[in-house]
């Protein structure tokens, strides 16, 4: 009973309401200042509700529900991200444990990492002869780096103590990888994956604007062509929320696999 009356219990909720008020207030202000050229939260809300009422309708290739768009985007993101992780984790384990591999591969990482995802798009088109493949390719090529770098860093920072155990008790190479390297690097790997999925989710919108088809990025572009700013704002909210959920998911994983 005492707990229910305690202000501490409600603080997170109060702060949550507080940030919502600030966001909506600022949005409203901007909407008023631009003479409703930017739609107000209320106008957006009704469109948003309409969109969510029938998320999976399908009226042909250029008119699909927001749920369909999201699913298409998520499939692309997870394909590119999954492929990227399949490359990044083993490669990271390798360059983290071998100085030679690190010195050979690190310069390549340093040069390729800062390249904008859009610069890869034409190469993707050339390689896959299709927009779909090219989009997954740019997700792959941009989401590979955080996981790769974090994995390598994790492996390289294994304390001498842990190496000593493996050395003193003659662990085989395989046992060393499975029982020492991977468990130690796992929290770092998950941090990398968390950063990578964030990058992938940012890149998908830009990628789909270029590639067209079905997807949340294309939906934003299509809404712009139809001059529906309410839809664009709704899409931004949805993109943000999905991004947050993805991040929370990996945050949960991170906590789940933290030892000690």
Partner 1 sequence: MTLNPISAPVDSASEFHKIQSRPASIEVKNISVAFKTPKGTFTAIQDIDLTIQKGEIVALIGHSGCGKSTLMGTISGMTQPTSGTVMANGNLVKGPGPDRGIVFQNYSLLPWLSVYQNIYEAVDSVFKGKTSAEKREITEENLKMVNLWPHKDKLPGQLSGGMKQRVAIARAFAINPSILLLDEPFGALDALTKGSMHIELLKLWNLDNRNKTIVMVTHDIEEAIFLSDRVVVMNNGPAATIKEIVDVRLPRPRNKKDIVHDPAYMEIHDRLMGLLFDKFSIEDD
CB atoms under 10 Å from CB of 176, counted, come to: 19
Report the residue number, 74 or 177, with the smaller CB distance to partner 1: 177
Segment (H or E) for 223 = helix 216-225
Q: Please list every residue from 201 through 230 that binds partner 1, using CB under 8 A.
A: none
Q: How far is the CB of 190 from partner 1 (least distance, A)?
A: 13
Tell me which of 36, 99, 103, 175 binds partner 1, using CB under 8 A: 175
State the Cα–Cα distance between residues 247 and 254, nearest whole angstrom. Answer: 10
b/e sequence 90-121, b meaning 16+ C-beta within 10 Å: ebbbbbbbeeeebeebeeebeeeeeeebeebb
Segment (H or E) for 172 = none
State the Cα–Cα distance between residues 170 and 67, nearest whole angstrom. Answer: 54
The rounded Cα 40 to chain-centroid distance in angstroms is 28
Cα angle, residue 194 at apex, residues 158 and 99 outer, rounded to 5°: 30
Residue 183 within binding range of partner 1, rule CB under 8 A: yes
**CB of 104 closer than 8 Å to CB of 93:** no
Stretch of residues binding partner 1 (CB under 8 A), selected from 1-9, 27-35, 178-186, 191-199: 178-186
Stretch of residues binding partner 1 (CB under 8 A), selected from 18-26, 125-133, 160-168, 237-245: 160-168
Report the residue number, 99 or 167, with the smaller CB distance to partner 1: 167
Tell me which of 71, 101, 180, 209 binds partner 1, using CB under 8 A: 180
For residue 58, the cross-strand partners are 64
For residue 64, the cross-strand partners are 58
Residue 162 within binding range of partner 1, rule CB under 8 A: yes
Residue 173 within binding range of partner 1, rule CB under 8 A: no
- Count residues near partner 1 (CB under 8 A): 17
Q: How far is the CB of 151 from partner 1 (least distance, A)?
A: 16
**CB of 72 closer than 8 Å to CB of 136:** no
Q: How far is the CB of 135 from partner 1 (least distance, A)?
A: 38
Residue 161 within binding range of partner 1, rule CB under 8 A: yes
Tell me which of 24, 74, 179, 209 binds partner 1, using CB under 8 A: 179
State the Cα–Cα distance between residues 186 and 177, nearest whole angstrom. Answer: 12
Residue 165 within binding range of partner 1, rule CB under 8 A: yes
Stretch of residues binding partner 1 (CB under 8 A), selected from 22-30, 123-131, 161-169, 226-234: 161-169
Stretch of residues binding partner 1 (CB under 8 A), selected from 92-100, 126-134, 180-188, 230-238: 180-188
Binding-site ranges for partner 1 (CB under 8 A): 161-162, 164-165, 167-172, 175, 179-180, 183-184, 259-260
């Amino acid at each position: 009973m005492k707990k229910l009356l305690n202000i501490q219990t409600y603080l997170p909720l109060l702060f949550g309401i507080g940030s919502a008020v600030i966001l909506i207030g600022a949005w409203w202000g901007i909407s008023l200042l631009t003479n409703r050229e930017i739609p107000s939260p209320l106008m957006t809300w009704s469109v948003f509700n309409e969109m969510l009422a029938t998320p999976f309708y399908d009226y042909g290739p250029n008119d699909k529900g927001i749920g369909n768009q999201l699913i298409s985007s998520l499939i692309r993101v997870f394909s590119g991200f999954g492929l990227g992780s399949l490359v990044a984790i083993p490669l990271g384990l390798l360059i983290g444990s071998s100085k030679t591999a690190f010195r050979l591969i690190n310069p390549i990482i340093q040069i390729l990492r800062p390249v904008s995802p859009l610069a890869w798009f034409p190469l993707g088109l050339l390689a896959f002869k299709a927009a779909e493949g090219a989009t997954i390719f740019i997700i792959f090529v941009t989401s590979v780096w955080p996981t790769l770098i974090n994995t390598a860093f994790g492996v390289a920072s294994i304390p001498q103590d842990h190496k000593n155990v493996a050395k003193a008790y003659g662990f085989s190479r395989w046992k060393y990888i499975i029982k020492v390297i991977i468990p130690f690097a796992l929290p770092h790997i998950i941090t990398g994956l968390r950063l990578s999925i964030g990058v992938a989710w940012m890149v998908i919108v830009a990628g789909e604007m270029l590639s067209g088809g079905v997807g949340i990025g294309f939906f934003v572009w299509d809404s712009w062509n139809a001059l529906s700013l309410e839809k664009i704002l709704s899409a931004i909210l949805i993109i943000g929320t999905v991004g947050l959920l993805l991040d929370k998911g990996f945050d949960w994983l991170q906590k789940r696999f933290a030892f000690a």
